[in-house]
Amino acid sequence: MNKAIKIILKGTFMKLIKSRKPRNLMNIYRLYLKSFPKNERKPFPFILLKQWRGTTEVLSIKNSKGEFLGLAITALQNNLALIAYFAVSSEKRGTGIGSKALQLIRERYSDKKIFLEIENTETESENKEERKKRKNFYLKNGMLEMPFIINFFGTEMEVLTYNSPVTFEEYHSIYKKEFGKIISRKVSFVKNKNLGENSNA
């Protein structure tokens, strides 16, 4: 698989680059700290160790000038690809970069079931509207919601997927194999949800 996948949409050239250079990793690390709450973050050296072992990819999103636009960190196992972290630089949000980056990710892992977690949009919270906006962004970009809720380190999450449905067992298997018992025990099934006609599982 090529280390860089490129795309040109509406005149904007973008690419995903597997990052190993210190400068690229520092850009990713800063955005990682800024974009994700402490309870959702894993130790960054642990993520880099997993990349060295070949089961995780730490990806930079860049334009034709080499400008850093965002990050994607994925965990891989057989036919599964978990988008563990995905973020666009704050000054670049609302410009369509996120949608284009998702298309790049979808092409990069076209042979796998691609999925990610978002905070439960039905739970009362101070950022409920932000959660709904995030969910609508992913649905607009072709993702489907799975009919179950999980507990991720004490936070209820929904699971969205590309390509084909994933079961909770498939979803959880990547945590057990990739992150070990200590972390996987903090990820658990909560309940099924009724999606009605929208259910694809």
pLDDT, tens digit, 9 for 90 and up, residues 22-43: 889 999 999 999 999 898 899 9
* Domains of the chain with CATH codes: 4-198 (3.40.630.30)
Radius of gyration of the chain (CA): 16
Say whether pLDDT at 2 is over 70: no
This prediction's pTM: 0.87
Between strands 113-119 and 80-88, the pairing is parallel
Q: How far apart are CA 112 and CA 150, in angstroms?
A: 21
Res. 132: pLDDT tops 70? yes
Spatial separation of the C-alpha atoms in residues 95 and 67, rounded to whole Å = 15
Q: How confident is the model at residue 200 (pLDDT cuts 50, 70, 90)?
A: very low
Q: pLDDT grade, residue 126 (50/70/90)?
A: confident
Query: What pLDDT is stored for residue 51 in this prediction?
Result: 95
Task: For strands 56-63 and 12-18, give the pairing.
Answer: antiparallel
Span 47-79, pLDDT tens digits? 999 999 999 999 999 998 889 999 999 999 999
Outline where DSSP puts E strands in the chain: 4-9, 12-18, 56-63, 68-77, 80-88, 113-119, 144-152, 155-161, 187-192
